Structure 1
Amino acid sequence: MAAFNRTPSDMSTFMLTGIPGLEDAHAWISIPFATCYIIGLLGNFSVLFVVGKEQTLHQPMYLLLCMLALTDIGMSTSVVPKALCIFWFNLEVITLSGCLTQIAFLATVSATHSAILVVMSFDRYIAICSPLRYATILSNARVAKLGLVSLIRGIVCVLPVPLVVSSLPFCDNHMIPHTYCDGIAVAKISCGDLTFFRLYGLMMGIVFTGLDLMVIALSYCLIIRAVLRISSKKAHQKALNTCTTHICVMLTSYTPSIFSNLTHRFGQGIAPHIHIILANVNVLVPPMLNPIIYGVKTKELRDKMRKTICGI
């Protein structure tokens, strides 16, 4: 009966197996999954609510923070509910259209998330290197346009991925050893030529991760140069403190992503469940930690959240 239930009923469905090798522990694994997801939702929706309610927070920095919160919510929500359905109810079937939608949505949100981090580094650069011109260079309207450009970039660059996956032949193998439809995981079960898919995926990894990190690194090199020209140590510390929050968010966002992509592409000797766990950490941990980091490190936001939520 178990074998029958795991057999696709037609050629338009796939089977997500969860975490291979750890099927007996799915119920226990679901606990940290659900916990991280709920904490992430509460934190990010709290940020959106507080920034939306408080007029004093209607500034470019907090508008960017809201955009980051939206991408965090989208990233985790595109993955975790389906994973929990697999862990709790063995609902492993996913349609081809559902699989392609998940691939496209997750990839677009991830690309937009990376672009917003780049815009945030530019925001910090302007705030420190050209503080007198900050209001004219980065108005709320201009930040909103940059956010829209980030979204369009993600859609345009990611659109070929589900199109290529949909054209791949899958023969008799429709079992995806994963908790969600990841483009690489789906392509690996195909019996077709993956040359274009691998090259395009590598190119997009270089563009989204490599180029974005280069721009962020350039911004911080310019920031450090500007800070070193300041004679006051107190001004040094104040300027650098404005950047630590963004740096922490970058580390939580890019580190799991880089490790996950590297293990998928080059870690053939690594156990399959390690690949899957790292991929899920990439969509679970940053959305959970980012609102906590900003809530702790940004005094104005922290005070407004305490006032709004706790009434203090």
Structure 2
Amino acid sequence: MKKWYGGNDIDPNDEHRDWRMIDKIIGETFEEQKKARRWGVFFKLATLAYLFVILILAYSAKPGDASTKEKHTALIRIDGPIGADSPANANAVAGALRKAFDTETVEGIILAINSPGGSPVQSGYIYDEIKRLRAEHTDTKVYAVISDLGASGGYYIAAAADEIYADKASLVGSIGVTASSFGFVDSLEKVGVERRHFTAGEHKAFLDPFSELKDSEVDFWKTVLGSIHQQFITVVKEGRGDRLKDEEKLFSGLIWSGEQALELGLIDGLGSAGYVAREVIEAEDIILYGGQKSLLKRLSEQLGASIGQSFGQEVSSTIGLGHTPKVYY
């Protein structure tokens, strides 16, 4: 009698039936592997082709390349907090500024500002670069356009422009300096923790949140903030000149609406970036400079994957001013 094994009849009396069975199983396994390899190659080629198409589309969608041959308005975004690790950092903004100024077909430059402020140093770097480039390219004007918010460091940068525009409901100003922290003097004692803090230098534990405040150090810290505030006032006066109205509260840190800012001389007019490009610069075509995501990042977003995304870890040093509050415009 014959029996079925794997769809084939093999004589159970055949003395080589076991070897025939093993040979058949191995053959079928190899055949399945060949099929799997063929499908694997197919899917790899299909994925490669898909990536190639996306690459072409992403590259061709990069803003501003071909159309920079025509007369246009350059737009540079300053969005969000201003800081070395933020998108609105001095290196990025300065690079976009230099590219815009060096493009012969740029009729004017708009700084599209929507920022609450941030680092005085980064704001200062950007301000200085605008002033330097304006001096080198006297035929190219810079216009700051504030949307929702142009406060503190955001306004500091705007003051470097030839003219400033905002919406009537924009928030403008906040010409002041701030630094804050918390005090935990009694907290450790309440939870039964002993703190051991060793320093060399009379004021190295300056503004330590776990130590009592010293009047002399508070007074000193106020002089530091006052010095930075005066730097802010100076650049605003230099940038705005006699357009500023004599208002005692102007440099008090208060913030104003666009309409109020116009009356105070903090801005020159009311209007959007589109309005300035169309009516003031008279070059309605706007091209974004800087602020563009890398090609790899655009690809990864279109594919729905996080390709090549880098992660950084912010490490604070215990040697420098580790416990001193950061200063912000």
Pair in the same fold by TM > 0.5: no
Normalized per residue, the structure richer in helix is 1
TM range (shorter): under 0.3
Query: Normalized per residue, which structure has more strand?
Result: 2
Structure having greater relative contact order (Cα 8 Å, sep ≥ 6)? 1
